[in-house]
Amino acid sequence: MGVVLEPGNGRVLKRRQLLTLLALTGAAGCGSASSAETPAAQAGGGTPPPAPPSASPGATARLGSAMTVTSSAPAPSASVSTVASSGLGGAVQAPADRVMLGSYLALGGRSLQQSLALRRRQLGREQRIVHRFYPWDGYVPTSEPEVAKSSVLMVSWHGAPYAGILDGGSDGNIRSVARKLKGMKRPILLRWGWEMNGDWFEWGGAQNGQSAANYVKVWRRLHRIFAEQGADNVSWVWSPNWNSSPGDSWNRVQGYYPGDDYVDWVGISGYNFFNETPSTLFDPITDRFGGKKPIILSETAAVQGKAKWIKQLQSWVEKTPAVGAVVWFDTDIQEGTDNNFRFDTDSAALAAYQAMARSPRFSG
């Protein structure tokens, strides 16, 4: 997350934010997210919404739609309801019939430790997943002491252009990161090169010769090198955007899937920028992949109608057994936008989130 389309000016904003992100990303994930750190250094995603209702048909097609994901998706089968309780998920297994609830935390004026303490007071519980962003070839920590041992660390590791990985030039960097994550001696959800089916990151297919196949080759190379380094505490989270941009046939999300042997969890990024329901955002990918892999909502939040949308999210998750984890994008300092993704912006939204956090389904 981190890029929000301004109607009529979307590409300018995306490019400006991406340049800021890449310039400052060396600080991403470096222990505490202190108030002195820039939001761009702490955040790392880029999820543009679908075109607003007033946009032209051409803009809608360019941004893609849910149909881009589901055009050839099989109908959900009975097996979808059993995946999240079948012991799948690799080093971080999906809890049986429950959901792990966590967040990416970057609250204005607070360190990560202070932010975690605030949410602990509000929710009466630890974050089950704590989401951090690490740069591709910058500083990567060897530990995350502020993340409780009872919490799972989810690392969104920035991608890079495919050519410099496929030619072997990045193997040393990959081995180094693998050793550092292995050395943390804790289960880790590793989300590499997320939202690859969008056109806003340098690791997306749109910026790499319009090639989904090469993304798959890169993923498998990383997976092999991690295995060679013995990083078996890592669960691999393949995490596309909820819709594809552009919506061309070469950019269909299924073309980026590395294969069942290389993926432990399937993630989704999706926000209600234009009043999308959880079903609209998450059904297509869940229906396609939920029959064989546990699903994690790896980036989600509401930007409007928060209380209503949180209740909708809770209801959708409770009716979707394939979902094994939900990670809220909990920040009010996202670079380049005035969106506030915090769930405590008003009492009704806070109460709705607290009710969701206390639900037995979210006790994983």
Strand, helix or coil for residue 269: strand
Amino acid identity at 190? L
Q: Which residue has the tokens 């498998």?
A: 220
Contacts of 308 (CB under 8 A, 6+ apart): 352
- The number of beta carbons lying within 10 Å of the beta carbon of residue 97 is 15
Q: How many helices (H) and strands (E) does the chain have?
A: 11, 8
Looking at 37, 144, 276, 299, which residue is catalytic? 299
Enclosing H/E stretch for 295: strand 295-301
d(CA 352, CA 295): 22
d(CA 85, CA 7): 42
Strand, helix or coil for residue 11: helix
Look up residue 19 and give its DSSP letter.
H
206 CB burial (10 A radius; 0-12, 13-18, 19+):
buried
d(CA 207, CA 204): 6
Q: Give the residue from 240, 229, 281 showing the smallest Cα distance to 263.
A: 240
The packing angle between helices 306-318 and 347-358, to 10°, is 10
Q: What's the CA dihedral at 127, 105, 341, 312 to 10 degrees?
A: -20
CA distances to 39, 56, 289, 362 from 45, in Å: 11, 26, 22, 24
299 is catalytic: yes
Q: For 106-161, give the DSSP string.
A: E-TT--HHHHHHHHHHHHSS--SEEEEEE-SSS---S--TTS-TTSEEEEEE----
Amino acid identity at 121? R
Looking at 144, 195, 276, 335, which residue is catalytic? 195
* Residues with catalytic function: 195, 299
